[in-house]
Amino acid sequence: MALPALTLSLQFARFDGVTEHRAALPRAFVARCLRRALDGDAELTVRIVDAEEGQALNRDYRGRDYATNVLTFDYAQEPLVMADLVLCAPVVAAEAKQMKKPLAEHYAHLLVHGALHAQGWDHETSEADAEAMEARETEVLAALGQPDPYARSRRPRKPG
């Protein structure tokens, strides 16, 4: 099965620590993650930003005054997926550290997550939609050789 065609613009804002994020996000890695998550051809911009820019975008476009890990601005789904994915480097790094996972692994998850949003997937509409999106993310990440990011939350809890 041929993967979808992808036109990719990968951008890094200027911020302290950007070198670590550039190292975790080689262009080929980003393209591979996105192409696996896409069901059709796409033109995507991926921008890695600092907390200030991430917070401003989240506040101005979603009405939420904090920096979040990934924002997806989807412009078209047919005949071509067109979207901007904005990843907030300090948030992604803090989450990766908290989850004790490599930065690149967490970026892979968020790139897939953002690409699914660009195609209309939404985890905030219902529990069923959230479960479907998580299952698709897990499937795509497995194809990339990445672990299931939701494995911890699905483990049965011990009584007591």
Of residues 41, 42, 20, the one with CA closest to residue 107: 20
106 belongs to an annotated ligand binding site: no
Q: Hey, what's the torsion of the CAs at 147, 69, 36, 30, to 10 degrees?
A: -100
117 belongs to an annotated ligand binding site: yes
Conformation bin of residue 106: beta by default, left when phi > 0, alpha when psi is -120 to 50: alpha
21 belongs to an annotated ligand binding site: no
Task: Give the bridge partners for 84, in sequence order.
Answer: 45, 73
Residue 17, φ and ψ in degrees, nearest 5: 85, 10
Task: Give the bridge partners for 47, in sequence order.
Answer: 11, 86
Residues in binding site: 113, 117, 123
Residues in binding site for Zn(2+): 113, 117, 123
